[in-house]
Every structure is written in structure tokens, then in C-alpha cells.
Structure 1
Amino acid sequence: MTDYLGNRSDKALDTLIRRSEAATKLNTQQQDNLSSAKRILAERSAAKVKSHFDIHRAITFLASVANEQRLCSYKELALECINNPKAEWSTYYRKLGGQNGLMQSIIRHCAANGLPHLASLVVRQDEVKAGPNVPPDREGEAEYGFKRGMVDEGLAKRGVDTDALVLEHRQACFAWREG
């Protein structure tokens, strides 16, 4: 079945994932298809950012951040996993967000591999010092990037409280590293 799923478009896989997650009960084959579809989308997402970032280095770095029970900045993350260390920060800054950006790839990777959502540990430079127990300061912004990414992946609902969502996922990251 993986070959069949591997030949499906991203949109078709996304539809399969959303329908499967909305179902009240899945048989073994359907559960396997759901897991495979998530993994395939995560691999494709990583391939899209591969020319700019190494997703595995990003995950390793964020796991160390979780282990230290702290936050990191977007720039700190980017500098840890860029493929061309001589490139200008402004070049990579534009590749962090959006549907095919590094942050969305991290969210997909974590979801597909049963990891806590390590992307919740990444904040703006001026928010790093506030610490992990302080929600992001996004007053006046329609959506916070992490929340938007989670909603886009079907991992959170639109109306969910942003502060609670972020803090819940940060604590899950810290608990994961402790366990």
C-alpha cells in the first residue's frame, strides 16, 4: 500500500489524513495507511526544505533545547541547521515560515514520528529570555505561527486558545526529554 500512497499527490494524502482522523474507528489497514500518509508527507516536506535546511539537524537541535528546558530563537534554529553557513540570515529567514517552510516541516516530522511538537520551543529573539512558561506575545496578530501550522496540519482547531496550546506543547517537549 505504501507504493500506492507514495504515488498520491500531497493534496490526496492530506485528504486521506483528515478523513482518517475524523473517523470514529479505523481498522488496522486504515491505521497503517494513516501512519504511512503522515510519514510520506513529512518526508516530502523535508525534501522541499532540503536545499536550505537539514531537518534532522533541526530536530536534533530542538531535542537538545527541550532537554535544557529552554526556548530558542528562529535565528538560532536556522543557524544550527542551514546547509550553507556562509549565506545571509535574510535569505534563510524567508524560508522558515509558510506551507513549505522549515517550521511546517518540523511540525509534520514530529506528528509523523510520534514526537512532541518541538516547534513550540521556537520564538522571536526578544521572547527567548521570557522563558518557556510565558506564552508568546502576539497581541494584534491574527494567528501565531505555531498555532497556524498546527491548524493547517489538522492537529489543532482554529478556535483553540493560543497561549494554552503553546504552553501545553512546550511542557510535553520537556516531559518527553525527562522520560
Structure 2
Amino acid sequence: MEKKLQNWFTAKKESNRTSSILKNVSQKYHIDANQIFPKYFKDQLITFQLSTTEKIGAINLSNGEKVDQLLLDLSTDYGDGIKLLKEDDLLYVYFGEPFKKFKRPYYIIIDNYMVFANNASTIQSFLNNYKNNRLFINKESYANSVNQLQILPVLVSLLTLIIPLTYFLKIYTYHTLNTSHRKKG
């Protein structure tokens, strides 16, 4: 993933900017940020927008406690486990475009997940819901959505067959009409 992301930054002419961000972190805090996110990022990440229009994201970590320790110098403590990254665009450097909107996010590390948002109140709300077990997975609407997603592969397979067929029929019809039109003319 890192190589593809670097190629993407190069194509967007942002590789100098991202290198500069990492160099600044190294000089300012004497921390090699490459020993944090690439090393402890596990395998999942997500960003989405809440109904309040606030954006929230999360990354799965292999060792959340270690990442929390390594980020101590790069963070300011906000309270109740919530912290603020001191440097801009650090998540963007490691995870690309979906994380660009999290310029200098508030975050919390909980159960090997780093959850972040642009406002501390969003993280506080998440934390309250988490502590009180008010999670999506416990809602009926979530269960209904998951059940509907099981139908999705069947629909994709059908669409994969239908779309090319429709395209073929349009070309065939166009060709047939033009051919018969020329014969009459």
C-alpha cells in the first residue's frame, strides 16, 4: 500500500509536501513517524459522514497501547482519553485522500482502533455511546442493512450481465437501423 500511495502522491505532485511533513515531525519531535502508522496499522480503515455532517474516521491498529505511547509527543491531551494531533495532515500522509479532511484531528485509541474527528465533541459523543454500549451493531436498522447487503453480490452479478447486454443491443440496433437505412436510400 505504501508504494502505491507514494506513486499517487508523485502523480498529484504532492510527494515533496508529504516528505516535508514527515521531515518536520522528525526534526521537531525527534520521532520517526514511519515507525508508528505503517508499522502498527493493521488492515482496516474507514471514513464517513454523520447525519450532523461531521466527518469521523477510524483505523485498525495491531497495538493500540503502543501507538498511544508513540503519539504522546505528537499530541495534546484534551481530556477523558481524547487527544489532539499537533501536526497537520499526518493521517493524509499515511492514508491518502480520504483522510485529507482530517487536517489536525482529535482522536482516541480504544480497543486497537484509532477513532478521529475534527471536533472533540464528536469524539466525546462516540466515547459516550461506546461506554454505554449504544453501538450501530445493536440497532435493528443495522441488522436490516446487513441482511440487505447479502443480496448485493447477486445484484452485482446480474448487472454485470445486463449492462454489457444492453450496450450490445444498442450497438446492434444502431448498426441494423443504419444498414437497413442505407439499403433503402
TM-score using structure 2 length: 0.31
Which structure's CA Rg is the greater one? 2
Tell me which protein shows more helix as a share of its residues.
Answer: 1
Higher relative contact order (CA 8 A, sep 6+): 1
